[in-house]
Amino acid sequence: MNRLFGAVVLVLLVFITGSMVATAQSSDAAPALSTDRTAPSYDMKGQAFFDLENVQKKFVQLAEVIPADKLTWRPAPDARSYAEVFLHVASERYGILALMGAETPAGVDPKTMEKSTTDRTKIIAELNQSWEFAQKTIKGMSNADFAKLLPKLGPTANAGDVVYILVADAHEHLGQAVAYARMNGIVPPWTVEAKKKADEKKAEQK
């Protein structure tokens, strides 16, 4: 009798433990099996354009205030100079968007652009020209274009991923440019403006 009771208890324990494991596994997998079909609230096209436009303005603002003799400055021998960072940003707009089929304008060679000049006027011109290309390309995309699959980049990669790469790359190099400025005692123009407004607001409150 005791043996039978012990056997029954053992079977029940195995059953309960198995059920708990199954429930836990089911719970862990729940997010992947979500039936939520609500349309996303994030506007990839609008947000990407907004981010890139703001970053472009800041690149140009920095390029305008960096002393001419600092455009060739670099933090280390194997690092890009200030001029090369700006021109690298311009060249990558063509290179990254080419991943989804955007054609680089005739006469533009992204491969040689980075070391093409140290002249401020020409650098800003390259930033503006590449930005015109980028905004025209992105504005011309429909929502369906953003979802267009690009198997050559990966089994689930799409054109929207390429635009996201461009946004991430732009922010990375803006941070680099700001770091360069700070290392040379240069305060970014938008920071100067923000401080000015904050000081004016404090003065009004007194």
Q: Tens digits of per-residue pLDDT, 47-100?
A: 999 999 999 999 999 999 999 999 999 999 999 999 999 999 999 999 999 999
pLDDT reported for residue 34: 63
pTM for this predicted structure: 0.78
- Helix intervals (H) in the chain: 2-29, 44-65, 82-97, 110-113, 120-139, 143-146, 159-183, 189-205
pLDDT reported for residue 4: 41
| The length of the chain, given as a count of residues | 206
Question: Could you give the C-alpha distances from 99 to 120, 146, 197, in angstroms and in order?
Answer: 29, 13, 42
Check whether domain 50-192 has CATH 1.20.120.450, yes or no: yes
pLDDT reported for residue 206: 77
Helices 44-65 and 82-97, interaxial angle, to 10°? 160
Euclidean distance between CA atoms 136 and 140, whole angstroms:
6
Those residues with Cβ within 8 angstroms of residue 86's Cβ, 6 or more apart along the chain or in another chain: 59, 63, 123, 126, 127, 177
Going from N- to C-terminal start, the domains of the chain cover 50-192
Residues of the chain with pLDDT under 70: 1-34, 36-42
